[in-house]
Amino acid sequence: MMKIYGQMAEVQQHEGFMEMSSIAISLSPEAMEKFALFVMHAASEMKRVGAGYDHIHLMDFCDDWDAAWPDVQLTRVYDGT
């Protein structure tokens, strides 16, 4: 199981997403381990791809994806352009 909660920062959007001042990700220990693997995979891909890296979805990475989970995307840092 996974749930994500957040508090909105200033009203600032990028590509339809709201900037958050904080988030809380609620996970079981097993889901936390899978999430950690996802984060490490994204970091490796970001280094491998370089400047062309944009984002990766947890649902594309996780072979036992649960449709009840929120869609998590790990993105490059956007410079505001």
Q: What is the pLDDT of residues 15-24, one digit of tens each?
A: 667 777 888 8
pLDDT at 65: 84
Average pLDDT score over residue span 4-23? 69
- Is 43 inside any structural domain? yes
- Is 80 inside any structural domain? no
- Is 24 inside any structural domain? yes
Dist CA 79 CA 61 (whole Å)? 26
- Is 48 inside any structural domain? yes
Give the number of domains in the chain.
Answer: 1
Tokens standing for 2?
């996974």
**What is the domain extent for residue 71?**
2-75
Asked whether residue 36 carries a pLDDT value surpassing 90, the answer given is yes
Query: Which among 14-23, 29-38, 70-79 has the top mean pLDDT?
Result: 29-38
- Is 62 inside any structural domain? yes
H/E run at residue 60: helix 58-61
- Is 81 inside any structural domain? no
List 13's β-bridge partners, or say none.
18
